[in-house]
Amino acid sequence: MNGALKITLAAALLAGLAGCGNDSEGTGPFGILAQTAGQVVAQRSAAEQPAEQPAAPARSPEDAAAEALRVNPGPLIQAGFENLGRTTAMAMTGQNGAMRTYMTPAEEALILRDGMLVGTRGLGNDLSVAEPGTEGLIRAGAAGTGTRIMRYFAGDGVERPLQFTCTVGAGPAPGVTVENCEGHGARFQNSYMVQGGQIAVSRQWIGPVLGYVTIQTLRP
Does a structural domain hold residue 37?
no
- pLDDT value at residue 202: 98
Rounded CA separation 18/53 (Å): 39
Q: CA 110, 201, 8: angle at the middle one, nearest 5?
A: 105
Coil, helix or strand at residue 63: helix
Of 24, 75, 13, nearest to 206 by C-alpha is: 24
For residues 159-167, give the mean pLDDT.
Answer: 96
In a domain, 213, yes or no: yes
pLDDT of residue 60: 76
- The reported pLDDT for the residue numbered 153 is 86
Give the residue numbers spanning the domain of 179.
3-23+59-219
Distance (Å, whole) CA 7 – CA 186: 29
Buried b (16+ CB within 10 A) or exposed e, 124-160: eebbbebebbbbebbbebeeeebebebebeeeeeeee
- Residue 17 carries which DSSP code? H
Asked, for residue 138, whether it belongs to a domain, the answer is yes
Residue 93 within a domain: yes
Could you tell me if residue 38 is inside a domain?
A: no
Q: Is residue 176 part of a domain?
A: yes
- Within-domain flag for 168: yes
* Bridge partners of residue 192, in order along the sequence: 177, 202
Residue 26 has pLDDT above 50, yes or no: no
- pLDDT tens for residues 185-199? 999 999 999 998 899
Residue 97 pLDDT: 95
Average pLDDT over every residue of 93-105 = 96
Structural domains of the chain, count: 1
**Residue 36 counted as domain residue:** no
The answer on pLDDT for 18 being more than 70 is no
Domain at 110, CATH number: 2.40.360.10
Residue 41 confidence (pLDDT): 27
